[in-house]
Amino acid sequence: MIIRMYKCIKYAISTRRRLRKSNPQKNLLDYSIDKFGAQLVTDTRTMLKMFVLYLPLPIVSALFKQQGSSWTFLAVKMNGDIGFYNIKPDQVEVSNAILVLIFIPTFKAIFYPILSKIAHLEFWIETSPKNSVNILWQLPQYVVISMGEVMFQVTGLEFSYEQKGAAFF
């Protein structure tokens, strides 16, 4: 199916070059309706819209993977003492799982309006004496990445499921 969609797009581009002036169409893919049919053109349009939706996925995945690497290495330079317990650098990662469980039912109602930018924590850590910045300053990063996970993965998967059809199965 993907190959047929690719051929539909390729044909539309090449046909548009030839017929742009003599037979103008409203949309690019309209140039391939004659050869591939209206249903495939509609399915291809849907797929392209979904493709644009998923373009940020590599960025989200790259940020998500930093939890177990860069952020843990950064936590080694931080103070884990919260008074009654000393948080180890790799233990702060569990906050993601806990936050996802909290955010899934409440995300839409509470957290969408509260999204905000995070301060430059790493600069602060690098310019401060070792172990002087409390490890809980990493929690906003986990909050934001967990919110992103809920927003992108749960909503994206639900959207994909709702949009499924002949073009995808």
Write the pLDDT tens digit of every residue in 103-140. 888 876 765 565 444 466 677 788 888 888 888 888 87
When comparing pLDDT for 54 and 168, which is higher? Answer: 54
Q: How confident is the model at residue 78 (pLDDT cuts 50, 70, 90)?
A: very high
Residue percentage of the chain with pLDDT more than 70: 87
Residue percentage of the chain with pLDDT more than 90: 8
Instruction: Tell me the DSSP string of the chain.
Output: -HHHHHHHHHHHHHHHHHHTTTS--SSGGGGGHHHH-HHHHHHHHHHHHHHHHHTTHHHHHHHHHGGGTHHHHHHHTSB-B-SS-B--TTGGGHHHHHHHHHHHHHIIIIIGGG--PPP-HHHHHHHSPTT-SBGGGGHHHHHHHHHHHIIIIIHHHHHHHHT-STTT-
